[in-house]
C-alpha cells in the first residue's frame, strides 16, 4: 500500500519504529517495523507487510519493506511540504503553494522553481532557500537507498550528507573508510561493511590501516587510553580482521612512515600513539615542566594564619603560595573548598590576582557558591577559539593564581590548552578528588601528576564535624576504603534491594518523578537519575525515555521532532554532549527546550546559565536528554537528590569503585541506590583499569 506518515509514535534504539499513517482508503492506522527506520512525518511510503494483532496496542501493519515515493495527491503533497521536511516551508505556506499549483507542485519545484515567486510571501530569498532544501532532501533520500543496499542504517544518510554534501555518494563509493571519525555514528565496522560490499579486498592495506587507526581511536574514546602496546594493537587487529599478525604489523610501519602514528619505548614494551595524542602529551609535559621550574611572580609577603584551619589545610595554603604548580586532593567533607577560599583571600590580601575555574559550568557555579568568589569555566577563561588545535600562547591567563577545581575532569586536550595559556611564574593549583572517575576524554592528568614526585601535593584527610553526620559522606568514605556503604539510620544514603532489572527501572522512575518530590516537597527537577550504563533496561536511554513520558509526554497539537531514537519536545531537559565554541556551550551543561520551530528546522534551548542557543535538526546529535544521565556526565555537578539503578546487565562492565564513589558524591541531601546486591558488591570490589598514559614518565624526564 501507499500511505503518508502523519506522526512518529515510537522509535527504539535498534531502529524499530512505530508510526501513524494515512492512505486514500484508510485514515489513522498504525504501522511498525525496523524497515521504517528513518521515516519522517510528511513522507509518502510504499509499504509491504501484513496486518497483525498486537496483544497490547491492537491492529497494526507489520512492515517488511519500505520505499519512499514522490507524493502524488494534493493532500499528500501538502502534508509533505507542511511537515517541516523542507526548510522554509511551514503548514500555511504549504497550503498556499499547493493551492496555487495543485498536483503539479513538486514538478514546478523540480523543473521551474522560479515560478514559486508567483505565490504570495515567497520572494527571491525564500525561493532560493526552498530550492536548496528540496535538493538536499532529494539527495539524502537517494543516499538512504544506497545505504539500505549495503545493509547499513538509513539514519546515517543525513549525517553523511551534512559532512560531504553533493560529494557524499562519490566518497561513499571511493573511500568509505574516510567516513570514520568524520561522520558521527560511523566507526570501522560500518565503513568496512560498505567497503567490502563495494569490492575492497580483505587484505587491502587501506582496510588494515583503517582498522589499526580505529583501534587506537576507540581505545581513546572508550577507555581513555593515550596509547596501546604495539603487540596488543597488532594482535587485536589481526584477530578482528582474521588476518596474519605479520601482515598487520607491516601496516603499522606504513602508518609510521605516513606520520599518522608514533611508536616509542614504553615501560615494558613498544607502544603506539595516534599522532595527535602523542603530540599533545609531549606538549603538556613540556608546558608543565616550564611552569614548575619558573620563578614565581606572586608578590609573596608574610601572611596571617587562619586559626580555623586544620594542620593539613594550613600546609596546603603554604604549598599553593610557594609552588608554581601544586595539587590539592581529598574526599568529601575534608575542607577543600574552604582551603581554596583561604588561599584565594590570602593572595588577594597580598595584592595578587586570582582566577577560579572548573571544567564545567555547574562545577564553576558550585565553586563560586562554596568560596563566595566569582568562578568561570576553563573554556571561557581561555576565550577558546573554534579551531580545536589552536593553542593560546598569545593570550595567556594573567592571574597570579589560577585555581582549577574538579581537576580529575581535565583530559589531555583541555589540560594542554590550559597550560598553554598560563604565563610562567603564575601559580597553578589543581584541586580535585583523585578517587573520582577520570576525564571523559583521553588521559588521566590529575592521577599522572600525583605519580610525579617533583609535583607538590597535599591530600586532606580530616573529615570535619559538620560533615561527619552525613550519610552520603560516610557512604563515600566506606566505598573509597573498599567497604559496602551501609550507614546506620539512613541519614542521606539508602540502598533498596531489587533483583529484576525491569522492576529496578520502574522503581527508579517512580522515586524520581513521584515519591521523592512528594515526600521532600520539591519539583522533579530537583531529583537527578544517574546510571552506570547507557544501554539495557536500566540504562540512561530506557529510564530517560520512561521519565520523559511521565513528565513531558506527547500531547495533541504540540510540536515534536524525532532524531534517531530521541524525541524532542518543548519543556524537555537536555544536555550538550559536545563543546561548541561557536554557540558558547560546553559538554555537561544543562538546559531546557523552549521552542521547536518546524519551518526553520531548529530547536531552541535555554541553557541554565541564561543563554539561549539554537540547534538545527541535523545538529541534534550534539544534545542528549538529561532526565537520566551517565555518571561520567554528572562529574562536576551536584544535585539535591540522586537516584541510581545498580544491575549486573551485560556483565556490569561499567560497575567500578570510582564510578560508584563519584555517583554517591554527586548528591547533597539524599542518594538512593536501587538494584541488586550483587551489583553493589561488584562495584565496590572492582578497582578498574588504569589508563595507558605517558605523561608522568615524560614530565619526570623533563624535570631531570
Report CA Rg, the chain. 28
Model confidence pLDDT, tens digit, residues 647-688 = 998 667 789 999 999 999 999 999 999 999 999 999 999 988
Phi and psi for 670 in degrees, rounded to 5? -140, 145
Q: What is the pLDDT of residue 393?
A: 39
CB 258 within 8 A of CB 208: no
pLDDT of 303: 67
Instruction: Compute the average pLDDT of residues 214-231.
Output: 95
Was 337 annotated as part of a binding site? Answer: yes
Residue-level pLDDT at 598: 87
What mean pLDDT do residues 155-180 have?
91
291 phi and psi angles, rounded to 5 deg: -70, -40
Over residues 333-354, the mean pLDDT reads 91
Give percent of the chain with pLDDT exceeding 70. Answer: 96
pLDDT, one tens digit per residue, over 140-151 is: 888 988 898 888
Please determine, for residue 466, whether its predicted confidence score (pLDDT) is greater than 80: no
Q: Does residue 392 carry a pLDDT above 50?
A: no
CA distance 65 to 78: 25
The CA angle 133-135-137, to the nearest 5 degrees, is 65
* 336 is an annotated ligand-binding site residue: yes
Domain made up of 205-277: CATH architecture = Orthogonal Bundle (1.10)
Note the pLDDT of residue 599: 86
Q: C-alpha grid cell for residue 260?
A: 599518522
Highest mean pLDDT among 167-171, 184-188, 488-492, 571-575: 571-575
pLDDT (tens digit, 9 = 90+) per residue, 544-563?
999 999 999 999 888 899 99
For the beta sheet containing 602-607, the strands, ordered from the edge strand earlier in sequence to the opposite edge, are 612-616, 602-607, 591-597, 573-576, 623-625
What is the CB neighbour count within 10 angstroms for residue 264? 12
Report the alpha-carbon distance of residue 665 to residue 636 in Å, rounded: 10
Cα separation, 330 vs 431, whole angstroms: 9
**Amino acid 213: pLDDT:** 97
b/e for 527-537, b at 16 or more Cβ within 10 A?
bbbbbbbbebb
**Per-residue confidence band for 304, with pLDDT thresholds at 50, 70 and 90:** low
Of the candidates 117, 168, 691, which has an alpha carbon nearest to the alpha carbon of residue 443? 691
Contact 341, 446 (CB under 8 A): no
Parse the chain into domains and list their residue ranges.
1-65, 144-198, 205-277, 296-384+395-464, 471-685
pLDDT of residue 72: 84
Is the pLDDT at 55 greater than 80? The verdict is yes
pLDDT at 141 (0 to 100): 87
Class for the domain spanning 1-65: mainly beta
Q: Give the contacts of 311 (CB within 8 A, at least 6 positions apart).
A: none
Assess whether the region 296-384+395-464 and the region 471-685 belong to the same CATH fold. yes
Fold of 471-685: Rossmann fold (3.40.50)
Nearest alpha-carbon partner for 332 in 669, 670, 665, 673:
665
Mean pLDDT over the full length of the chain: 91
548-558: string of b/e by CB count within 10 Å (b at 16+)? Answer: beebbeeeeee
pLDDT value, residue 395: 41
Which of the following CATH numbers is that of domain 296-384+395-464: 1.10.150.50, 3.40.50.2300, 1.10.287.3510, 3.40.50.300?
3.40.50.300
Q: What is the pLDDT of residues 517-537, one digit of tens each?
A: 999 999 999 999 999 999 899
CB atoms within 10 A of CB 299: 10
pLDDT value at residue 343: 94
Q: Residue 68's beta-bridge partner residues?
A: 45
pLDDT value at residue 396? 38
Does the annotation list 335 as a binding residue? yes
Q: Name the one residue in this structure whose C-alpha cell is 583561604.
A: 342
Whole-number pLDDT of residue 383: 67
- SS3 of 446-490: the string is HHHHHCCCCCCEEEECCCCHHHHCCHHHHHHHHHHCCCCCCCCCC
Lowest mean pLDDT segment, chosen from 300-309, 310-319, 528-537: 300-309
Q: Is 66 annotated as a binding residue?
A: no
Q: What is the pLDDT of residues 67-91, one digit of tens each?
A: 999 888 898 899 888 888 888 888 8
SS3 assignment, position 188 = helix
Q: Cell 538529561, residue?
A: 626
Higher pLDDT, 390 or 160: 160
- Which pLDDT does position 386 carry in this prediction? 39
pLDDT of residue 384: 43
Amino acid at each position: 500500500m501507499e500511505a503518508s506518515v502523519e506522526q512518529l509514535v515510537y522509535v527504539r534504539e535498534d531502529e524499530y519504529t512505530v508510526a501513524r499513517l494515512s492512505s486514500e482508503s484508510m485514515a489513522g492506522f498504525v504501522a511498525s517495523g525496523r524497515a521504517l527506520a528513518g521515516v519522517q512525518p510528511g513522507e509518502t511510503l510504499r509499504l509491504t507487510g501484513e496486518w497483525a494483532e498486537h496483544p497490547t496496542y491492537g491492529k497494526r501493519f507489520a512492515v517488511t519493506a519500505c520505499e519512499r515515493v514522490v507524493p502524488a495527491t494534493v493532500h499528500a503533497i501538502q502534508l509533505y511540504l507542511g511537515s517541516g521536511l523542507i526548510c522554509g516551508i511551514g503548514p500555511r505556506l504549504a497550503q498556499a503553494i499547493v493551492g496555487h499549483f495543485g498536483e503539479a507542485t513538486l514538478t514546478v519545484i523540480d523543473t521551474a522553481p522560479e515560478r514559486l515567486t508567483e505565490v504570495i510571501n515567497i520572494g527571491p530569498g525564500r525561493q532560493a532557500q526552498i530550492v536548496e532544501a528540496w535538493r538536499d532532501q532529494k539527495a539524502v533520500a537517494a543516499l538512504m537507498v544506497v545505504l539500505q543496499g549495503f545493509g547499513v542504517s538509513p539514519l546515517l544518510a543525513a549525517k553523511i550528507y551534512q559532512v560531504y554534501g553533493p560529494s557524499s555518494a562519490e566518497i561513499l563509493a571511493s573511500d568509505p573508510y574516510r567516513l570514520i571519525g568524520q561522520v558521527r555514528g560511523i566507526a570501522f565496522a560500518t565503513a568496512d561493511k560498505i567497503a567490502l560490499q563495494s569490492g575492497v579486498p580483505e587484505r587491502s592495506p587501506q582496510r588494515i590501516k583503517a582498522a589499526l587507526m580505529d583501534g587506537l581511536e576507540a581505545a581513546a574514546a572508550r577507555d581513555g587510553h593515550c596509547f596501546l602496546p604495539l603487540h596488543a594493537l597488532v594482535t587485536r587487529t589481526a584477530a578482528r580482521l582474521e588476518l596474519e599478525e605479520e601482515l598487520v604489523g607491516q601496516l603499522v610501519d606504513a602508518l609510521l612512515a605516513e606520520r599518522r602514528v608514533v611508536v616509542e619505548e614504553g615501560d615494558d614494551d613498544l607502544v603506539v600513539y595516534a599522532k595527535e595524542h602523542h603530540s599533545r602529551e609531549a606538549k603538556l609535559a613540556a608546558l608543565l615542566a616550564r611552569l614548575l621550574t619558573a620563578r614565581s611572580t606572586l608578590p609573596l609577603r608574610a601572611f596571617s594564619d587562619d586559626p580555623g584551619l586544620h594542620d593539613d589545610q594550613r600546609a596546603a595554603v603554604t604549598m599553593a603560595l610557594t609552588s608554581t604548580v601544586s595539587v590539592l586532593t581529598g574526599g568529601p567533607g575534608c575542607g577543600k573548598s574552604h582551603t581554596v577560599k583561604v588561599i584565594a583571600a590570602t593572595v588577594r590580601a597580598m595584592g595578587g590576582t586570582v582566577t577560579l575555574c572548573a571544567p564545567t559550568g555547574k562545577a564553576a557555579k558550585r565553586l563560586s557558591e562554596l568560596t563566595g568568589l566569582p568562578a568561570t569555566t576553563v573554556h571561557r577563561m581561555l576565550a577558546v577559539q573554534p579551531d580545536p588545535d589552536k593553542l593560546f600562547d598569545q593570550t595567556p591567563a594573567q592571574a597570579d593564581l589560577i585555581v582549577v577545581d574538579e581537576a580529575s575532569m581535565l583530559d589531555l586536550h583541555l589540560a594542554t590548552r590550559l597550560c598553554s595559556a598560563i604565563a610562567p611564574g603564575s601559580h597553578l593549583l589543581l584541586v580535585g578528588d583523585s578517587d573520582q572517575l577520570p576525564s571523559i576524554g583521553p588521559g588521566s592528568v590529575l592521577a599522572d601528576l600525583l605519580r610525579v614526585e617533583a609535583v607538590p601535593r597535599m591530600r586532606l584527610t580530616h573529615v570535619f564535624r559538620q560533615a561527619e553526620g552525613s550519610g552520603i559522606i560516610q557512604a563515600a568514605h566506606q566505598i573509597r576504603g573498599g567497604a559496602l556503604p551501609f550507614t546506620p539510620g539512613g541519614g542521606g544514603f539508602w540502598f533498596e534491594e531489587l533483583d529484576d532489572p525491569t522492576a529496578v527501572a520502574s522503581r527508579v522512575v517512580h522515586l524520581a518523578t513521584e515519591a521523592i518530590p512528594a515526600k521532600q516537597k520539591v519539583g522533579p527537577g530537583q531529583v537527578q537519575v544517574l546510571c552506570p550504563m547507557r544501554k539495557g533496561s536500566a540504562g540512561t536511554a530506557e529510564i530517560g525515555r520512561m521519565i520523559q513520558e511521565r513528565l513531558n509526554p506527547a500531547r495533541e497539537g504540540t510540536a515534536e521532532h524525532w532524531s534517531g531514537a530521541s524525541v524532542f519536545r518543548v519543556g524537555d531537559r537536555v544536555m550538550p554532549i559536545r563543546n561548541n565554541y561557536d554557540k558558547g556551550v560546553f559538554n555537561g551543561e544543562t538546559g531546557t527546550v523552549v521552542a521547536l520551530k518546524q519551518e526553520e528546522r531548529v530547536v531552541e534551548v535555554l541553557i541554565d546559565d541564561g543563554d539561549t542557543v539554537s540547534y538545527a535538526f541535523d545538529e541534534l546529535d550534539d544534545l542528549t536528554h538529561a532526565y537520566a544521565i551517565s555518571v561520567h556526565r554528572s562529574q562536576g555537578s551536584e544535585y539535591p537528590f540522586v537516584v541510581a539503578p545498580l544491575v549486573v546487565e551485560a556483565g556490569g562492565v561499567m560497575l567500578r569503585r570510582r564510578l560508584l564513589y563519584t555517583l554517591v558524591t554527586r548528591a547533597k541531601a539524599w542518594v538512593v541506590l536501587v538494584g541488586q546486591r550483587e551489583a553493589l558488591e561488584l562495584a565496590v570490589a572492582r578497582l578498574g583499569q588504569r589508563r595507558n598514559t605517558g605523561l608522568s614518565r615524560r614530565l619526570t624526564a623533563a624535570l631531570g
